[in-house]
Structure 1
Amino acid sequence: MEHLIERSLFASRWLMAPMYVGLSLSLLLLLWVFGLEFWHLLQILPVMKVNDAVLGVLALIDLSLAANLLLIVIFSGYENFVSRMNLSEHEDRPEWQGEVDFSGLKLKLVASIVAISGIHLLKVFMDVGKYAPDQIRWMVVIHLVFVVSGVLLAAMDWISNHGKGLKKRAPKA
């Protein structure tokens, strides 16, 4: 009975696979929005001002960072929780694939969120007249919370890894 329960629990990881397929399909949504944003930029090209160009490009960068974040979650999540991808021979396989553990995934996620938040904040600063001072203040506070969270998460991982290293080196009694 115990063996059957353990095998069932282990097999339940495959319930995550459809979620990763759904996330990969959501890349199409980001691609669609990217295309719309790019099309909008092309339409205003004859009358485009510097701020319009910078804001438009920042929006495109924002979308590409979100897509990169999505790929990191899909690849790392699938490999950490469902199954290894047997693509080690593929010439286009990213170097980090298969090497990002759950701790590394969390740090990459936080770093991406901080980058996306920073770009969004830069867009706000480029068009500061559209926003109330209170709104801007909250956006800065939220961004700083992301930054501090990332630093604290990295510090916790460092402490955890440092503690494991000390435990391995400690003499056995």
Structure 2
Amino acid sequence: MKKLEAVVEYIVLGSRWLLVVFYLGLALALAMYGFTFLIKLKKLFLEMGTMEETDGILRILSLIDASLVASLVVMVIISGYENFVSKLDGGKQVELNWLGKIDVSSLKVKVASTIVAISSIHLLQVFLNSDTYTGEKMMWLTIMHMAFVVSALMLAFIDRVMPSHD
């Protein structure tokens, strides 16, 4: 029975390596998203002199939004790998001191905060382009944004009041 238990534990512990497929997939998706970012940037550069100021601001906000999404993906990849698969040593080229500080709980707070920032940018884009939205749609978008804000605040509160396991 002890041998069977050891085999099961080996399989269960080894199953964490299946997560690598997800992290590599996210890295590939990030590369594709980076390509679309470059296309948007080129288009903005080529059209900047001929567009209205509001359109330029909206496009720049879209680029900021993309960078926040990309940062979120990197955060999930690195901290997920570090927390669930294997410790990263990074060699001497990369300083990875911050990795040990991102546990699952703080990752949730960071993800929620990033979602709030992305939602804020989207809502700002809506307000800057308000003539194309109905009042009801703007109201619902604001309510959804506030739901993200409240969720992030609650996650941060829970993270703060939970006892630390350091």
TM-score of the superposed pair, with normalisation by structure 2: 0.92
Query: For 1:8-23, what aligned pairs fall within 5 Å after superposition?
Result: 8-23=11-26
- Report the CA distance between 1:58 and its aligned residue: 0.2
* Alignment-derived partner of residue 115 in structure 2: 113
Q: Structure 2 matches for 1:134-149, cutoff 5 A?
A: 134-149=136-151
The answer to whether the aligner puts 1:34 opposite 2:19 as a matched pair is no
What is the match of residue 170 of structure 1?
none
- TM-superposed deviation, 1:94: 4.5
Mapped contact 2:89–2:96 kept (Cα < 8 A): no
Paired residues for 1:76-115 under 5 Å: 76-87=79-90, 89-90=92-93, 92-115=94-117
SS of the residue 2:99 aligns to? coil
Structure 2: stretches of 5+ with no match in the other structure: none
Q: Which residue of 1 aligns with 2:54?
A: 51
Give the CA RMSD over aligned residues: 1.5
Identity %: 38
Q: TM-score, normalised by structure 1?
A: 0.88
Gaps of 5+ in 1: 166-173
SS in 1 for 2:100: coil
Deviation at 1:88, TM superposition (A): 5.4
Per the alignment, residue 130 of structure 1 pairs with 132
Matched, 1:25 2:18: no
Query: Is the Cα–Cα contact under 8 Å of residues 90 and 96 in structure 2 kept in the other structure?
Result: no
